[in-house]
Structures are given as C-alpha cells and as structure tokens.
C-alpha cells in the first residue's frame, strides 16, 4: 500500500493554478495519488449553456457499505495582485514551518490530508477492511456551483452510487485547529426591490413621484424588527442591505425608479418559501408600486448530533485535546447539496487566510489534520460496525 505525505501532496496540488473553473492538472494529481491505493477514479466533466465547463473527480474504493465520503474542491479563487504576495501564490513554498499558496487552507490541504489518512487506514486494515471510502471532488465550488457537486450527486444517483456519511474539508476553525465542526449552515436568500416612481423636475415635485423616500420606507420595514431569536443550533437570522442604487447623475431631477438589494442568512426557523412570504408581507404592508425578486443559493440545514459528529469530535479531541463546538455559523458550502443525500459535517484547517493574499497553513497543522482525518475514518467504520 502506498503512503501519501500530506504536505507533499498539498504542495503538488497548490502548484496547479486551478483558478475556477480551470483545472490545470489538479484533479490529475489527486487521481495519480489515489489510483495506487485501489481507488476506481472517474472523471466527470459537466457543461451547461451560459456557464463554463467544469471537470470533476469521483473516486471509490470498496463495493459494500457503509460508504464514508470526503467532499471537497480543487478550484481556488484568483490570487489578485500576485506582486502583493510575499511568496509566489502557486509556488507552494515552505518558510519557517508555514506553507504558502493559493488553496493552502481552502482547501487543497484538506484533500491531501484525507487522501493521506485513507492511505494509512487502508494499509493497516488490509483485506480486513469492510465498507467503502469515496472522494467527491469538484472544480466548481468557488464558481457558480452549477457543473460541480450538484451534477455529480445526480450522476451518483443515476449510477447507483450512495453515501452514508460525508466529511467536507472546508476550513472551519477561526484561531486553533480543533475549535469547530460545522454540522449545518444557514440558508442564503437575496432579494431585489425596484421601487417605481415618476421622473420630474425637483422644482415641481407635484408633477413627479419620487421613489427614493418610498424605497427607504420599504427598507425600514425590513430592518425594524428582528426576523427571529435563533434556534437550538442556529444564531438569529440576519438581513443585510447590500446596495441602494438610483443611477441619477443629475441633482435637479427626481428619478424614475430606485433599487435596493438585500441578503438574508436564515436559520431553520424558515424555509425559502416561508421566508419569502414573510418578507413579501412586510413590504406589501409598507408600500406599493414596486417589484420584488428573490433568488436562493442555499437552504438552511442541520445534521443533528449523532454518529458522524460524535466520531469527528472524538477524533479532534484525541489529536488536539480540544472539544470542538458543533456550529452552524459562516457562509454556504457544497454541504448544502450533500445534505439531501447523507449525513454531512465539515472540518478542516483555520480560515483566517482563506481568499487572502499570502494564504497559508502551518505544516504542523497539516500533519495534525491528516491524523485527525485518520481517527475519523477509523472511528466511523468502528462505530458503524457496532451499530
């Protein structure tokens, strides 16, 4: 059985400049690492009109259950001004015990660590291993998320592939490795209000209908009262106004319309439909002659504490000595799609440098993460066998 060094594999992945949606060989690096272990690897390219083509990788070892899956992404966000980086963003250089590079924490190290952990576990189990380990790796997490995880999951259903539990390797910790496991995420809803009026001269307001004060009244209706007080596992839902636009370049013209956009990160008090209904009612009571459009990029979800989170928590505590918080904070992730197919929870490195200049991870933390994932794998199959 082939050993995989998690730091070396992380470096090899970072050295592929896989800025979404371009792969630049990253999936091939992972496939080359997994194939000698016995994983059957399948590349899954998907396309849709109006969106970039994306390559993805599904790999599985084993034909029986239970199936423990690791989900992640090899695509990364752009580096921005490369000259602002202390070290080359795709150089994967190590300095003073720190590995620098775009994707170091979000989330190429996570992928490398799980591959390393799987290699170690399978080597120790040999022919005694019962179950399956799989990898669900997309190149579309940082992009529109259309030709990635969603279509991979549809492909799995169509081809008789299933998941019993899934660990997502997103960076979940704020300050110290071992602080936080994500067992759910808030949903995300964006609303656009277009308040209509009638253009006219500011000196003759009686001949116009100014939409701006009316839009302000609508926005006040959205923000005057909290949406809820939070639930057992979720913080309160939060609405933020993100832009107000009139597009008026003249100071003596009352505009014809005014537009505002808001975003709600909502907890399990609401479904997208019930949240839309509440917001529509609030706005309808506060004004008229406006258009309201909604888009939802993810529903709130929760994997109730149980086998998966218990195994993950025990693994974290064994390696770090910390008892992690089971949290639902933060933004969205591809776990929002996986939750319809299996229990899912997230654990990875620290997130302070994700998407930033000089993204980096301590080599010691990368090696610890591989040890944690090993304990998660061993614990999951041990506990599943005893159920």
Q: Quote the pLDDT of residue 108.
A: 98
pTM of the model: 0.89
pLDDT band at 80 (very low <50, low <70, confident <90, very high): very high
Domains of the chain, first to last: 6-185+300-386 (3.40.630.10), 187-298 (3.30.70.360)
Taking only the tens place, the pLDDT of each residue in 264-273 is 999 999 999 9
pLDDT of residue 42: 98
Cβ–Cβ < 8 Å for 71, 149: yes
What is the DSSP track for 303-362? Answer: --SSHHHHHHHHHHHHHHS---EEE--S---THHHHTTTSEEEE--SB-TTTTSTT-EEE
Whether 1 has a pLDDT exceeding 80, the answer reads no
- For residue range 325-342, what is the model confidence (pLDDT) as tens digits? 999 988 888 999 999 999
Point out the residues that are catalytic.
Answer: 75, 141
For residue 7, give both structure tokens.
């730091």
Mean pLDDT, residues 196-217: 98
pLDDT digits (tens, 9 = 90+) for 130-172: 999 999 999 999 988 899 999 999 999 999 999 999 999 999 9
pLDDT digits (tens, 9 = 90+) for 267-309: 999 999 999 999 999 999 999 999 999 999 889 999 999 999 9
Contact 88, 103 (CB under 8 A): no
If you count them, how many residues does the chain have? 387
CA dihedral of residues 136, 139, 145, 149 (deg, nearest 10) = -10
CA distance 352 to 362: 12
């Amino acid at each position: 059985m082939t050993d995989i060094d998690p730091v070396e594999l992380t470096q090899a992945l970072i050295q592929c400049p896989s800025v979404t949606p371009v792969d630049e060989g990253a999936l091939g690096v992972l496939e080359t690492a997994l194939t000698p272990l016995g994983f059957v690897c399948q590349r899954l390219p998907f396309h849709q009109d109006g969106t970039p083509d994306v390559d993805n990788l599904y790999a599985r070892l084993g034909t029986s259950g239970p199936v423990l899956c690791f989900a992640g992404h090899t695509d990364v966000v752009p580096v921005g001004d490369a000259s602002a980086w202390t070290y080359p963003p795709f150089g994967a250089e190590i300095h003073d015990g720190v590995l620098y590079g775009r994707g170091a924490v979000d989330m190429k190290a996570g992928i490398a660590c799980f591959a390393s952990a799987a290699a170690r576990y399978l080597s120790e189990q040999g022919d005694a291993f019962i179950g399956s380990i799989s990898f669900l790796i997309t190149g579309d997490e940082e992009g529109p998320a259309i030709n990635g995880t969603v279509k991979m999951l549809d492909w799995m259903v169509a081809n008789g592939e299933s998941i019993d539990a899934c660990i997502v390797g997103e960076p979940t910790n704020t300050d110290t490795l071992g602080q936080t496991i994500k067992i759910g995420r808030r949903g995300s809803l964006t609303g656009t209000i277009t308040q209509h009026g009638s253009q006219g001269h500011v000196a003759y307001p009686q001949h116009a209908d100014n939409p701006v004060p009316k839009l302000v009244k609508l926005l006040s209706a959205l923000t005057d009262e909290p949406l809820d007080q939070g639930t057992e596992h979720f913080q309160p839902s939060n609405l933020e106004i993100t832009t107000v636009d009139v597009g008026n370049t003249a100071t003596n013209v009352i505009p014809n319309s005014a537009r505002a956009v808001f975003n709600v990160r909502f907890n399990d008090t609401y479904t997208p439909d019930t949240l839309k209904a509440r917001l529509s009612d609030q706005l309808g009571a506060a004004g008229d002659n406006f258009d309201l459009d909604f888009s939802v990029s993810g529903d709130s979800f929760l994997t109730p504490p149980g086998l998966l989170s218990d195994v993950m928590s025990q693994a974290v505590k064994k390696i770090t000595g910390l008892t992690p918080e089971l949290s639902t904070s933060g933004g969205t992730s591809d776990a929002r799609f996986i939750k319809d197919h299996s229990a899912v929870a997230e654990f990875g490195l620290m997130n302070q440098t994700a998407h930033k200049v000089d993204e980096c991870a301590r080599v010691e933390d990368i090696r610890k993460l591989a040890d944690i994932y090993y304990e998660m794998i061993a614990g999951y199959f041990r506990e599943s066998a005893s159920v």
